[in-house]
A and B are shown apart, each in its own frame.
Chain A
Amino acid sequence: MSGGHSDRLYVPGASAVHRLPPQCKLVAVLTFVLIVVATPRDQFWAFGLYAVVLASVAAVARVPAPVILRRMVVELPFLVFALLLPFVSHGERVQFFGLTVSEAGLLGAWNVLAKGTLGVVASILLAATTEPRTLLLGLERLHLPALMVQIMSFMFRYADVIGGEMHRMRIARESRGFQARDVRQLRVVAQSAGALFIRSYERGERVHLAMLSRGYAGSMPVIVDVRAGRGQWLTAAALPMPALAIAVTAWSLT
């Protein structure tokens, strides 16, 4: 029940990337994405090289390409937006595949698409090579407040339970002949949401009592500690360091 999310996100493996402590990977990915965002947009080659760096990380981690591609659909809504940019932006008009579009808009669309896609792939690789539980430990190691990490771990633990409850409510509605066709049926949907809230809240109260009866006094026991050595930090730097070199070159060329 609690493993539902990790099934979808985590790709089990024992590669060098999998074995790295989570905090190293988090810092590496965040630095990488920051560098990518800071890269001037007209240095097209730089983004190609970033993609090569990410592809080699994926190869080392043995994360199959279909897994990455499938999860990239989160980007879709925003892809539509990027495609509109060349048409609504100001600036000089240019011919592009037979369409008259704004040059600045075209460059803007490329900028958002390239950087957004690299960021999404980097995040997917992080989640695919790190178990959610371990990733939470990494966040705690990076001094995210312990309470915040606890809240996140409870959310993770119960997201599937609450989601399952919602699913059963939907089946119950539909088996009674309900079908939400237009706004008039909104009341029924909202009543389900209200019931779901009450159930979630009451479950939270029960979970709290269960914790108290097991001796909870405000902090969770640390069962596994994930310390990182200098060597592991250096290994993790294999992602942002080449990116930094690429970015510095790109900046010097503009």
Chain B
Amino acid sequence: MHVPDGFFDVPVSVGGGVVAAGGVALCLRGAHRELDDRTAPMAGLVAAFIFAAQMINFPVASGTSGHLLGGALAAILVGPYTGALCVAVVLLVQGVFFADGGLTALGINMVDMSLVTVLVGYAVFRGLLRVLPSTRKSVVASSFVAALVSVPAAALSFVLLYAVGGTTDVPLGQVATAMLGVHILIGIGEAFMTALTVASVMATRPDLVFGARHVLPTLELRTTPATVGGS
């Protein structure tokens, strides 16, 4: 869903760029607060992971396949700031180096696919965890719903931007129905993939799931004085 050049008019493209720059600056500060001097290598490697994970194709129905978008997954695994930053970096690299997504639409792409996806996904995830019991199952269920909602949310923000500065003459209602319809389907695939991935990370390294850090009980080291035999 990389928006190309010419799809949005200049004011909306520039406006999107300004919002994206502000959002990315905020994420840079947030990520630096969380990771300190580990930011560059950690965010870089997570971005490389998202870049690679987007290439994993999974079968959907006969013949068709989908791939992960990774916004909600990144937010749950490494936190909202680092997650949004990593997705933004992936988009920037795809736009500047791979000509995937227009340069003038870069801001819009970042707002839709990085900022909105992560913000909505993470908000839903944390909100659900607050009301659900603190178990492994609730973490997986929450990530399912978070990913499910995050993809149509990104499509909705695209439709809103389209209403302001779209350059084609397709009536808004039709755009909204088509975009939301398609992205609800994509969202279902994204939800299964995200939830199952989070579940597999939880099974081996639960400490690496940022979003669930405060949910699961931390293992504590208990020392009990040993009774020395020989009495």
Give A193 to B192 CA distance when docked, in angstroms.
12
Given A38-B10, A123-B99, A162–B52 Cβ distance below 8 Å?
A: yes
List which B11-65 residues lie within 8 A (CB) of chain A. 13, 24-25, 28, 32, 37-49, 51-53, 55-56, 58-62
Q: How far is the CA of A5 from the CA of B98 in the complex (A)?
A: 10
CB within 8 A of A166: which of B2, B52, B167, B198?
Answer: B52
Q: What's the nearest-Cβ distance from chain B to residue A142, in Å?
A: 11
Which of B85-93, B119-127, B131-139, B153-161 lies at the interface?
A: B85-93
Q: Which residue of A lies closest to B97 (CB)?
A: A127
Q: Which residue of B is nearest A155, CB measured? A: B47
Report chain A residues within 8 Å CB of B95: 123
Contacts A180-B58, A193-B53; A151 near B43 (Cβ below 8 A): yes
A57 at the interface (CB under 8 A from B): no
Report the contact-size class of chain B (Cβ under 8 Å from the partner): 35 or more
Q: Which parts of A19-78 form the interface with B (CB within 8 Å)?
A: 26, 29-30, 33-34, 36-38, 41, 71-72, 74-75, 78
B99 and A120 contact, CB distance less than 8 A = yes
In the complex, number of A-B residue pairs with CB atoms less than 8 Å apart: 263
Cβ of A232 under 8 Å from chain B: no
Which secondary structure dominates chain B's binding surface?
A: helix
Asked if A193 meets B37 with Cβ closer than 8 Å, knowing A75-B4, A151-B47, A159-B48, the reply is no
Bound together, the chains give a CA A50 to CA B59 distance in angstroms of: 41
CA distance A126 to B205 in the complex (A): 41
Given A108-B170, A119-B103, A190-B193, A159 and B24 contact (CB-CB distance below 8 Å) = no
A204 at the interface (CB under 8 A from B): yes
- CB-based contact B169/A108 at 8 Å: yes
Interface residues as binary, B159-183 with A (CB distance below 8 Å gives 1, 0 otherwise): 0000000011111001000000000
24 contacts between A and B (CB under 8 A): A36-B5, A37-B10, A88-B170, A111-B167, A112-B168, A115-B4, A116-B5, A139-B96, A145-B25, A150-B39, A150-B40, A153-B44, A154-B41, A158-B45, A161-B48, A162-B49, A183-B60, A185-B58, A190-B199, A193-B53, A194-B203, A198-B204, A216-B37, A220-B40
- Interface residues in chain A, defined as those with a beta carbon under 8 Å from any beta carbon in chain B: 5, 9, 26, 29-30, 33-34, 36-38, 41, 71-72, 74-75, 78, 85, 88-91, 102, 104-105, 107-109, 111-112, 114-116, 118-124, 126-127, 132, 135, 139, 145, 147-148, 150-159, 161-163, 165-166, 180-183, 185-187, 189-198, 200-201, 203-205, 207-208, 211-212, 216-218, 220
Besides A9-B97, A154-B41, 4 new A-B residue pairs in contact (Cβ under 8 A), listed by A number: A109-B168, A116-B7, A127-B96, A185-B59
Nearest 6 CB-CB pairings of A with B? A154-B44, A115-B6, A119-B5, A194-B200, A190-B196, A204-B45
